[in-house]
Structure 1
């Protein structure tokens, strides 16, 4: 594990792979996830010859929790910019959900180009309100933790009924912390209360960021997503007519976990074409 330091002194955990002289890719996970949600993508990108940085956002995984509870879009963007200072050339930014919002704002509002290309994973400036409420409800639930990894797996299976439940729940240990005899999700509860990321976002801000971008962009959507409907995807393409669009069949909002094979194929093909340009 590697640690970067944010502008306000928080430690930001990251996994880093590949040769720093190779084209860089930065992976930004969604709210309530950790950098490990990208593990298969991370390995595929390194194998394809990229320098890859997969970051735990503040308040997630092994990164510090903000003592002030600041998980605003501005804070997330500032963290990303602090990390980019340590990367030798402009990377391709890949962001899922919350991470996509962070990448979009950072790239679209920068005075000089900070990214070579942008991949948004099931997120656009306009998201489905009901889907967002469902995510918030899941993150607010089980505040008292779980008595076992199997109990946590049951909660995930209830939230994602379309995804086959794994026979072995041990992999969930990367997304939980054990305190005493109970397991708790690996995120700060303040993420979904007070000054949190979702409340700080504005559609107008992200739409303006989208219009400002001239770099190659790819929107990857899960066709069963309750966050980015086909209507929201069309709205994004209207804002960015040159952006590419990949609709992954059989995937929900968690596209990477639902259809990792299709996701990897799509992103590797896009990145290969970006490099040719």
Structure 2
């Protein structure tokens, strides 16, 4: 006799069912993006990217700051070294200031330069562009003239106008005959002393300075009339001075000079008021 068959599906064998369960579990874990393992890896990658971006931004900020600093430094260096702006050097001194004008002396490895600036003037004027031997400047009371020592060719005095290119040159040769006539003795060859600043009188008409004998043993204080050219010696101080003594001169008024002598060896200091007689 035939037995009737049931419509109920057959269950797989136990071994096959266990394998199927493990496979389904593995596939589910691999395809599911929300598993714990996947979350840990994503967070690790996100942290690495964050620190990489942070380091990159710091490099950009530091690099930009350094570029700005070096750029500003170059601008400042260019500004300071330009003759049209502000003179700069290894050594710079304020020499004199009168009536709204000021004189500076610059000294560096290239030599000396003398700058002047008048009140209301934009920038500094270099009076000695082609003369790097210029030194010992002084400013007139009016502020319009600057006298200084130059050693081009031979030591001489230059009297320059602070607001023009006009200048007067005074050499020892020009005035030696005047000196000899007044002292009536043979002084030998004379040179303009380079260790003392010449000084212009308050009325801009006279110049006081020192002449040295060729052997540099003595120095004579003289006054020249600089109204006309060539200048003429009008007065010589009767006493001479040892050339190794530091000397400074300045006008007290149109007829009187202040002379300061400093003997470094004996440490003696002398201040004299001298009347200039024409």
Is the pair's TM-score, using the shorter chain for normalization, greater than 0.5? no
The TM-score, its normalising length taken from structure 2, stands at 0.27
Structure with the higher helix share, 1 or 2: 1
Compare relative contact order (CA 8 Å, sep 6+) and give the higher one, 1 or 2: 1
Structure with the higher strand share, 1 or 2: 2
The TM-score, its normalising length taken from structure 1, stands at 0.27
